Structure formats: C-alpha cells, structure tokens
Amino acid sequence: MKIVIRKLNGLWHLIVGASQIRTPFLETQDRALVVTYARRAYPGAKIFQRD
C-alpha cells in the first residue's frame, strides 16, 4: 500500500490509493507529526511526501 502526504488548502492530506483523506493537522504543524500519524494508522505502508 502506498500513501502520499501532501499539503493542500491549508491542511495535510493523506492520499491512500485513490482516496484522499484529510488529516486533523493544519499545514503549519510539523510534517513529522503527520508521518507518525500515517505510520500508526497504516502500518507497513510505504509513505511518500510531497509539497
């Protein structure tokens, strides 16, 4: 499973396959926090980060 993390419209978004999930983190928060959240929510997934 691949997950792409990107900023969009002031919020972080996780893109899992074809689904886009808005995360509860604002764009101003640390990216590492969002990556940690994604690792907990989707264990074993490959995580890609984009700006």
Report the DSSP beta bridge partners of residue 20.
Answer: 15
pTM of the model: 0.76
Q: Retrieve residue 2's tokens.
A: 């691949």
pLDDT profile of the chain (51 residues), mean per 10 = 89 88 87 91 88 66
Which value, to the nearest 10 degrees, does the dihedral of the CA atoms of residues 36, 44, 2, 50 take? 30
- Give pLDDT, residue 21: 87
- Give pLDDT, residue 12: 92
- Give pLDDT, residue 8: 87
Long-range CB contacts (within 8 A, 24+) of 31-38? 31/5, 34/5, 35/5, 38/3, 38/5, 38/14
